[in-house]
Amino acid sequence: MNLYYPSSWQDYELLDSGGFEKLERFGNVVLIRPEPQAIWERVLSESDWKKQAHAHFTREQKDNFRFGDEVKGGWVKLKPMQASWQVNYKYQSLNLTLRLAPTGFGHVGLFPEQGSNWNFIFDTISGWKIKNPRVLNLFAYTGAASVVARAAGADVTHVDASRPGLNWANQNMQLNGQKDIRWVYEDALKFVRREVKRGNKYNGIIMDPPPYGRGPEGEKWTLQEKLNELISLSSQLLEPTNSFFILSMYAVGLSHLVGLNVVRTHFDIKAPECGEFFLKSKTGRDLPMGTFLRFSR
């Protein structure tokens, strides 16, 4: 099942893709960034790309099909642009403001396809008749999902192993006039293990685990090795009713069936929503952007 919500995004557009790159508009800033899955040819000319773009992120590597641990390259500015800027995302009564900035890894602090999950989070929490539901956001990055859950009325625990990511998420919270999100600087798997021992429970669990990574103390994370344990522990944390679960995966080559099979191993769920994220392109070359699985009960 493919999901994309073009009506929710006014400040993002995929303008074109191809040649292992993508041309994107974030608000009033247009960027060229690497994209290992864009193996096709571009629709627009190279001169059209350069004419529109404010900056171009290059990545020096032999393998175009996947990204390695080390990044060589960086941003090349093509025209004047802000060091940071804001975009807005609107869905029903949700009016989200997010801070963006170019990073040394080619990210800007936003994965626009996650808007589909934000809508799900907002709808699910808003539909509950319980006060202060508890939501756990793991590998929570710059905190868009945390801010959405908070806006819907949840008490949110935001876990990430990156200090810069936590600081960025805190800025997004403040941009949206919020307070009291709980920030946890820790390896996500270690935190979940401890929460199970403490007997804590959550009404919602959101996770967007990377293919690989390191925790604050050098803990090694590999998706294929650790995902089963993480989902097993999460099943012990999630409330049996008035609850939801979201898993996103961006590992190139992993089918959505991988997440589905792991989740079905540990949750008694018959038909969760699952499939492939994609970004709708103005030029007709829609871009796959990982997989998702989610359910509510």
Enter the DSSP assignment of 15. Answer: E
How far apart, in whole angstroms, are the C-alpha atoms of residue 31 and residue 55? 5
Tell me the pTM. Answer: 0.92
Is there a single domain that holds both residue 66 and residue 14? yes
* pLDDT over 90 percentage in the chain: 82
- Pick the closest to residue 155 from 124, 181, 130, 117 (CA basis): 181
Is there a single domain that holds both residue 78 and residue 142? no
Instruction: Let me know the angle formed at the C-alpha of 289 by 285 and 295, rounded to the nearest 5 degrees.
Output: 130
In a domain, 194, yes or no: yes
* 281-291 pLDDT, tens digit each: 989 999 999 99
CA distances from 96 to 82, 110, 147, 230 (A): 20, 12, 8, 29
In a domain, 100, yes or no: no
In a domain, 76, yes or no: yes
Quick one: tokens of 89? 């995302």
In a domain, 78, yes or no: yes
Which has more confidence, 219 or 248? 248
In the predicted model, what is the mean pLDDT of residues 228-253?
A: 94
- Pick the closest to residue 115 from 107, 105, 126, 123 (CA basis): 123
- Pick the closest to residue 213 from 267, 156, 251 (CA basis): 251
In a domain, 16, yes or no: yes
pLDDT for 65 equals 47
CATH number of the domain within which 26 lies? 2.60.40.1180
How far apart, in whole angstroms, are the C-alpha atoms of residue 168 and residue 143? 8
Is there a single domain that holds both residue 231 and residue 154? yes
pLDDT band for position 1 (50/70/90)? low
In the predicted model, what is the mean pLDDT of residues 36-60?
A: 94
- Pick the closest to residue 221 from 173, 161, 296 (CA basis): 161
Domain that holds residue 33: 9-85
How many domains are there within the chain?
Answer: 2
* 216-237 pLDDT, tens digit each: 777 777 888 899 999 999 999 9
How far apart, in whole angstroms, are the C-alpha atoms of residue 173 and residue 170? 5
